[in-house]
Amino acid sequence: MKIKTSLLLLLLISTGCANDIVGWSYSHEETNLALAQMDSVQNNLHTIWDVSRLMNRFVYVPETFPWKYTPDIETVFLKKLTGNCQFSAVLGKWALECIGVPARLVSIYRDDSWHLIAVAETEDKIIVITNKKVLYFPLGDNYKTAILNNFNPPYTNWNEGVLKKSNNRRTTMGKTVPGKRDRTGPANRSAQRQNSGNVGKRQQKGIPCPKKK
């Protein structure tokens, strides 16, 4: 039985269902509370300063899961805005899109370290969200180098999307957009979709957050 359970967990993880595993560990009430908080936060996001205040609430903790994965936005709220760089990058990307600023996830790494950040380009600057910080860089051909060199020690490589480390090799997993997959944890369950209102519908459609009018 233990062998079958382990094989099932490995299958779920390998097929990108880590968020389902995390979601199933929370009760229906906890999930609804997280979705309500997510809706409340969204309604209070209007400017980049609101995004900065939200990221200041994020609590960084080292990776605690036995596998590497990038959570969906619902999982970030289920974890009460606590997690590693992957959680903060997903939160930052979602928050920027809530104020109408398109953002993307970017992997930066060096031989001994890997880090995930959210990056957005506006008409006059580059916005970078790394853990709790919201940083600004000037536009230009060398902005990627400037971002890599901003860390101590500097990172040396830039990859659009999320990287997965396997057997000391890094392979690109492509861009991960919160809520875009069909199976993204608790929002996939019909009972919770009925109680989650517009938040659940946004996740199903793959739209992290509508633009403010």
In the beta sheet, which residues pair with residue 60? 83
In the beta sheet, which residues pair with residue 169? 166
End-to-end CA separation in angstroms for the chain: 54
Please report the sign of the dihedral spanned by the C-alpha atoms of residue 17, residue 198, residue 105, residue 113.
negative
- Domain range for 165: 2-178+187-205
CATH number at residue 50: 3.10.620
In a domain, 172, yes or no: yes
Q: What is the mean pLDDT of the chain?
A: 74
In a domain, 195, yes or no: yes
Confidence of residue 66 (pLDDT cuts 50, 70, 90): low
In a domain, 106, yes or no: yes
Domain tally for the chain? 1
Higher pLDDT, 108 or 195: 108
In a domain, 211, yes or no: no
For 122, residues 6+ apart whose C-beta sits below 8 A from its C-beta are 101
Torsion angles phi and psi, residue 187, rounded to 5: -70, -15
CB contact at 8 A, 82 and 143:
no
For 85, residues 6+ apart whose C-beta sits below 8 A from its C-beta are 60, 115, 116, 117, 130, 131
Residue 190 confidence (pLDDT)? 34
Rounded to two decimals, what is the model's pTM?
0.69
Q: How far apart are CA 107 and CA 84, in angstroms?
A: 14
Residue 209 confidence (pLDDT)? 55
Q: How far apart are CA 130 and CA 182, in angstroms?
A: 27
In a domain, 210, yes or no: no
pLDDT of 135-176, one tens digit each? 999 998 899 999 999 999 999 999 998 865 433 333 333 333
In a domain, 92, yes or no: yes
Confidence of residue 30 (pLDDT cuts 50, 70, 90): confident
In a domain, 213, yes or no: no
In a domain, 212, yes or no: no
Residue 141 confidence (pLDDT)? 87
Please give the average per-residue pLDDT across 31-55, as a whole number. 95
pLDDT of 87-104, one tens digit each? 999 999 999 999 999 999
